Structure 1
Amino acid sequence: MSYNDVQNEIKAELSNTLESIDNDSVETLLKEIKQADKVFFVGVGRVLLSLQAVAKRLAHLGVKTYVVGQITEPAITDKDLLIVGSGSGESAFPLIIAKKAKQFDARVAHIGANPDCSMKDYSDHFVRIPVATKFNLPNETPSVQPMTSLFEQSLLLLGDSLALMLVREQNIDMHSLWEYHANLE
């Protein structure tokens, strides 16, 4: 199989997946982000890598973002939002952190694939990326890609979509965004 064949399959999967995400749930997540004083992110593995990129992109837009566990992480409060990335909604560390965040009355948004999961007990809002999880449940959309690659890719593009929505909604001058970009490189 050639590169062109494979990349076409991946693009088709991404397009179908992103089109399947509920617009209203994304709009609600954007509202939650805008209302929060600080936005925290938690995930594990490749999901965490996608969330770190989303946190960085939103920081470029002036959103106060923190990845749980980073050395400069401040306290979470009732004015903040925790965004949990977990396809299955069953990963232990994100579950523990979401439970802890609720103890401080923070809002919790879960971006995942499995609506019927343990994370629902701690989430105020859920955005479903309708793809296969590690459990391969009957209502999940399969992927030709290994493991849960489609979820992590879709999570990253969902984050970039949220960022572009913010840019357009707030009429942000794209060139001005460079003031938030790292400059010690």
Structure 2
Amino acid sequence: MSFRTSEQKMVKEIESTLAGIDEAQVDQLIAAIQQAEKVFFVGVGRVLLSLEAIAKRLAHIGIQTVVVGQITEPAITDKDLLIVGSGSGESAFPLAIARKAKTFDAKVAHIGSNPNSSMKEYADIFVRIPVQTKLNLDGEIPSVQPMTSLFEQSLLLLGDAIALTLIEEKNIDMHGLWRYHANLE
């Protein structure tokens, strides 16, 4: 298979996946982000990398974001939102953090593939990225990519689409966003 063929297959998968995300679920997440004092993020592996990029982008538009585990992480409160990225909704660390966040009455949003996972017990909001899982659930988008690549890619693009939606809703000057960009580079 050529690079171009691989690229075209990936783009088609991403397009189908993003089209399969329920806009009402995303609207709930956007509302929760706007209402939160601080937005915390937790995930593991490549999902965490996508979440870190989302946290950075939201920080660029003036939202106070925190990645769980950072040395400067403040306390979570009932005014905050925890966004959990976990395709399966069964990853041990994100589950433990979601459970702990609920003890402080924080709102929890789960972005994942499995609507009936253990995370369901803790999530106030669920956004399904309908990618292929080992559970073969209804409505899953199949992938030729290895492991959970399609989930991680779609998660990152979902985060950027949320940021763009917030920029447009708040009528934020795009050029003015550079004041939030890292400048010690």
TM-score by length of 2: 0.98
Secondary structure of 1:89's partner? coil
Deviation of 1:58 after TM superposition, in Å, equals 0.2
Listed as ranges, the matches of 1:120-159 within 5 Å are: 120-133=120-133, 135-139=134-138, 140-159=140-159
Distance 2:126 2:77 in 1: 20
Distance 1:5 1:75 in 2: 47
- Does residue 24 of structure 2 align to residue 57 of structure 1? no
Deviations 1:103-158 (A, max 9, x none): 0000000000000100000000000000023x343433321000000000000000
Code of the aligned partner of 1:57? R
Secondary structure of 1:66's partner? strand
Q: Could you list the runs of 5+ residues in structure 2 that have no partner in the other structure?
A: none
Aligned residue in 2 for 1:81: 81
Code of the aligned partner of 2:156? L
Distance 1:87 1:125 in 2: 15
Deviations 1:141-181 (A, max 9, x none): 32100000000000000000000001100000001000101
Code of the aligned partner of 2:108? V
Listed as ranges, the matches of 1:10-49 within 5 Å are: 10-49=10-49
Deviations 1:33-75 (A, max 9, x none): 0000000000000000000000000000000000000011000
Secondary structure of 1:70's partner? coil
Code of the aligned partner of 2:24? D
Distance 2:19 2:141 in 1: 13
The answer (yes or no) to whether the contact 2:95–2:119 under 8 Å persists in 1 is: yes
Code of the aligned partner of 2:149? S
TM-score by length of 1: 0.98
Distance 1:11 1:132 in 2: 16
